[in-house]
Structure 1
Amino acid sequence: MAAGAPAAEDEHKGGLRAALGGLTTRGRSFLAAGVAAAACAYVLGQGDLLRVGLLLAVLPLVAVAVLYRTRYRVAATRRLSPQRVPAGSEARVHLRMDNVSRLPTGLLMLQDHVPYVLGPRPRFVLDRVEAGGRREVSYRVRSDLRGRYPLGPLQLRLSDPFGMCELTRSFSAYDTLTVVPRTEPLPPVRLAGEASGYGDGRQRSLALAGEDDVIPRTYRHGDDLRRVHWRSTARYGELMVRREEQPQRSRCTVLLDTRRVAFQGAGPDSAFEWAVSGAASALVHMMERGFAVRLLTDTGSSVPGEGAEGFAGTGHESADSTGLMMDTLAVVDHSDGAGLSRAHDVLRGGNEGLLVAFFGDLDEEQAAMAARLRQRSGAAVAFVLDSGTWLTGGAVAGAVEDRLRRLRESGWTALAVPPGAALGELWQLAGRAGREQAGTGGLGGTGFSGSTESYGSSPGPRASAEGWS
């Protein structure tokens, strides 16, 4: 950003007034003492006192003029490491100042604007920077609350050698730090009805090719003769070879209930924040196991939302999709919806694979809707949070147990989440409960032992650069 004198006269006067407003307490004191001495000298007729008064008054004005006419050309660069950080972890911000002018600078004071939730505003004092020189400083930021936080703009404060005047010049660029939910490593248990990430499973989709790619094709020059399919060769009268089998990926949908009416309380330890963190942990865990994953909310929005019916892809695309889902969870908030019907419409019967849901308070109507969600997936695991229990720390209400029983009868592996529960232990419990449920041969709850009491303790570098002269 250029910091030279404006061409317009009114802008010039405004800049000069701003420079006079930059007088420090010392500069204002000198100016006041000089005016007072000059007035006394005029009344008393003392020439020497008048010269002293003029010297005291002129000194801060000269400092203002010199500082106002300063033509430092300074470029600033900010870099975040990392740009995406889990809640409760620290990120480091690196600042670099380059003096691109032919003159050395004086004393520079830097101040970067950061939101209050990330900590106090960092301030640095840089000594004289030689022509073409560079200075680098860094500071740390940390937040227990997920979200997207702007960093900047950077302010540079100039001061004269006598400390009479200080001028502040601001850059315009800023960066964004994304604080994603905390994730918890989950044990590699096999949930009821779950197919492996790659290979044969009832609910699966081709990751790299369609069904037609598994049939033999005509021989091409350079094909391995060991791949010749002799039965098809005899049938078609020409040399046929087998196609390479393509890996197949099972699907997993992570459903997050964000209804405002379903959650009470706020803050890092609230039921809603636990549900968001649990959804993030499930997404990362299933992606690591080779599943094609998508994030779905009660509003019907699906992330990543592109590709094969909205599921994440493979390779670099998978990494980008994971980052996109985590960025979505970083800013997800309560919705004003009252039901799960939109999520029910997004799920398309019979080919959605594993469904992992994080529900808030369910009334009778929404419990029935959740039961119908199970019919549109292969296997289904539900973690139900009673936000009233999280607020009071009491026992799970009988109404919640009724909702859990209804979900289990419809085929869900349903667990109540007590306050402060560890998702890893609940995940293991879901695996054991699902195996017991499958062992009873049905969708009923007769063999299910995964109630709350069995749990045991129920009471993701970017840099921006700019310069001014």
Structure 2
Amino acid sequence: MGSSQATGSTRITGSGVAMAAATAVLIAAGLVLDYPELLALGLVAGVALLCAAGWMTVTPDVTLIREIHPPSVFQGDGARALVTVTNAARRRSPPILAAETVGEQTVAVALPSLAPGARFQAAYPLPTDRRGVFEVGPLVVGHTDPLRLLHVGRAFPDRSTLRVHPRIHTVDPLPTGGSPDMDGPTSATSPLGGVAFHSLREYVRGDDLRLIHWRSTARTGKMMVRHNVVPNEPRMTVVLDTSAAPYAGDYFEDAVRVAASLAVSGAQHGFPVELWTTGGRRGAAESSRDVAGLLDLLAAVGPADDDPGLAELTRMTPGEDGMVLGVVTGQPPGARLGAVSAVRSRFAMASVVCVGEEHGRPGLPVRGALTVNVRTSDDFAAVWNSWVRR
């Protein structure tokens, strides 16, 4: 947040309301009852209100700059805001109590009295106990008169963004089932120049003569060469069910943590990873350097009643052969899980993780897929490795 123009507002406090009521009652009673002492007290109360109003005209003239360090954190890790306050007035500023809005929470920040031109930096922690994308701001600074009858607040409208990523569990990546090719899976779009044989094709000028396949050349009457490519790494697709129906309580957060853990693990083990939500959001990480984008996506997701859920799987088509599927959901009915079986043939391997199981029951069988049924993401981390290593 850079220096910004503030907008101000003045309000009367509860004490001020009581003082104004006392002023009116005492003056009226003094006049009606011809009681000069009551009239004097009422005038004193009125003078106090006028003095408070005069005090409020001397408002602090400050500029503020806010920075968020770091702008993205994992849930529960530390994040803080650093506010630099400069007194731009020619007189000393009074002590200021500022209020910072972070999502739906408010953080109080005390700022001291500053000499003309003086600068002060205040650092304060930001709440990171919940996953999400949070707007930080506006920052409201205010001061009151000595009797706390009136309050002047000035809002600096600039806002910053804090992204709180889901916690990550250390788990193995999705099982790939191995490759049917000795050198690894290949496709027509694989990079040329590798050692893995993909197919035979006609010779074109510039091809290495050592790749000529003489037997096929003799049989077809055309010069045929071996089309060698660099083997593809299995690509992993993690699908998070973002429909509201399968989740009770706070179990959607467990599902987000499971999806994040599988996506990050795949990237860290050298697999390209795609992350899909049934609500239509997509992200990709070609390596571990790209996982921040996936975590940003997961920081922002939430369950929706109008989300199609696992039925959306039937409309998801993998971009290439040999992709591995991992589905993360809550406790959907068996008919919904059947969507995984319907698309199983499109993928080399499929796994399903269901969270929110409160009774220790095994998961519903999903034809052609490894199924894990757990209560929380912590339970998933405890059992996943032993399942995939069998």
Q: Could you state the TM-score of these two structures normalised by the residue count of structure 2?
A: 0.74
Distance 1:104 1:203, change over 3 A: farther
Instruction: List per-residue Cα deviations over 1:19-38 (Å, max 9, x = no partner).
Output: 6x358559938983997599
User: Where does residue 235 of structure 1 map in the other structure?
Assistant: none
Matched, 1:134 2:119: yes
After superposition, residues 50-69 of structure 1 pair within 5 angstroms as 57-68=46-57
Q: Secondary structure at the match of 1:262?
A: coil
The AA in structure 2 aligned to 1:413 is L
Cα drift, residue 126 of structure 1: 2.8
Q: Quick check: 2:72–2:165 contact (8 Å CA) kept in 1?
A: yes
For residue 85 of structure 2, the aligned residue among 97, 101, 116 is 97
User: Where does residue 246 of structure 2 map in the other structure?
Assistant: 262
Gaps of 5+ in 2: 196-202, 212-228
For residue 275 of structure 1, the aligned residue among 249, 255, 275 is 255
For residue 163 of structure 2, the aligned residue among 163, 167, 178 is 178
Matched, 1:28 2:8: no
Aligned equivalents of 2:335 and 2:6: distance in 1? 63
Instruction: List per-residue Cα deviations over 1:251-276 (Å, max 9, x = no partner).
Output: 1100122333333x212xx2x33222
Aligned equivalents of 2:134 and 2:268: distance in 1? 28
Distance 1:426 1:344, change over 3 A: farther
Aligned equivalents of 1:4 and 1:414: distance in 2? 56
Instruction: List per-residue Cα deviations over 1:86-144 (Å, max 9, x = no partner).
Output: 3333422222222123322122221223445x5xx332333321112122223323354
The AA in structure 1 aligned to 2:155 is S
Cα drift, residue 418 of structure 1: 4.8
Cα drift, residue 45 of structure 1: 8.0
Distance 1:312 1:247, change over 3 A: farther
Q: Quick check: 1:85–1:180 contact (8 Å CA) kept in 2?
A: yes
Aligned equivalents of 1:107 and 1:341: distance in 2? 59
For residue 303 of structure 1, the aligned residue among 282, 292, 306 is 282
Aligned equivalents of 2:205 and 2:168: distance in 1? 49
Distance 1:154 1:90, change over 3 A: same
Q: Quick check: 2:170–2:381 contact (8 Å CA) kept in 1?
A: yes
The AA in structure 2 aligned to 1:344 is T
Cα drift, residue 346 of structure 1: 1.6
For residue 289 of structure 1, the aligned residue among 248, 255, 269 is 269
Q: Quick check: 1:106–1:160 contact (8 Å CA) kept in 2?
A: no
Q: Secondary structure at the match of 1:261?
A: coil
Cα drift, residue 73 of structure 1: 2.5
Distance 1:357 1:36, change over 3 A: same
Q: Secondary structure at the match of 1:273?
A: helix
User: Where does residue 372 of structure 2 map in the other structure?
Assistant: 415
Cα drift, residue 165 of structure 1: 3.8
Instruction: List per-residue Cα deviations over 1:362-411 (Å, max 9, x = no partner).
Output: 545434331132211112222234x4x42xxx2416xx4xx42x42xx2x
Higher strand share: 2
Aligned equivalents of 1:429 and 1:4: distance in 2? 59
CA RMSD of aligned residues (A): 4.3
Identical amino acids, percent of aligned pairs? 22
For residue 108 of structure 1, the aligned residue among 96, 100, 109 is 96
Q: Secondary structure at the match of 1:128?
A: coil
Aligned equivalents of 2:125 and 2:383: distance in 1? 34
Aligned equivalents of 2:308 and 2:141: distance in 1? 50
Distance 1:252 1:61, change over 3 A: same
The AA in structure 2 aligned to 1:396 is R
Matched, 1:312 2:282: no
For residue 153 of structure 2, the aligned residue among 148, 168, 173 is 168
Aligned equivalents of 2:277 and 2:157: distance in 1? 36
Instruction: List per-residue Cα deviations over 1:258-298 (Å, max 9, x = no partner).
Output: 333333x212xx2x332221001011111112221111233
The AA in structure 1 aligned to 2:389 is R
Q: Secondary structure at the match of 1:326?
A: helix
Q: Could you state the TM-score of these two structures normalised by the residue count of structure 1?
A: 0.63
Aligned equivalents of 2:256 and 2:157: distance in 1? 34
User: Where does residue 321 of structure 2 map in the other structure?
Assistant: 351
User: Where does residue 425 of structure 1 map in the other structure?
Assistant: 382
The AA in structure 2 aligned to 1:65 is G
Structure number with higher relative contact order (C-alpha < 8 Å, ≥ 6 residues apart): 1
Gaps of 5+ in 1: 6-14, 220-228, 233-244, 305-310, 434-469
Number of aligned residues: 359
The AA in structure 2 aligned to 1:146 is R
Instruction: List per-residue Cα deviations over 1:308-349 (Å, max 9, x = no partner).
Output: xxx434586x2553344333xx42214535563432222238
Q: Secondary structure at the match of 2:253?
A: helix
Higher helix share: 1
Distance 1:421 1:217, change over 3 A: same
Distance 1:323 1:205, change over 3 A: farther
Q: Secondary structure at the match of 2:56?
A: helix
For residue 147 of structure 1, the aligned residue among 112, 120, 132 is 132
User: Where does residue 326 of structure 1 map in the other structure?
Assistant: 298
Cα drift, residue 53 of structure 1: 7.6
Q: Quick check: 2:92–2:114 contact (8 Å CA) kept in 1?
A: yes
Aligned equivalents of 1:248 and 1:419: distance in 2? 34
Distance 1:430 1:113, change over 3 A: same
Instruction: List per-residue Cα deviations over 1:143-167 (Å, max 9, x = no partner).
Output: 5432233332221112345655432
Instruction: List per-residue Cα deviations over 1:149-192 (Å, max 9, x = no partner).
Output: 333222111234565543222222233333322210114x7835
User: Where does residue 340 of structure 1 map in the other structure?
Assistant: 310
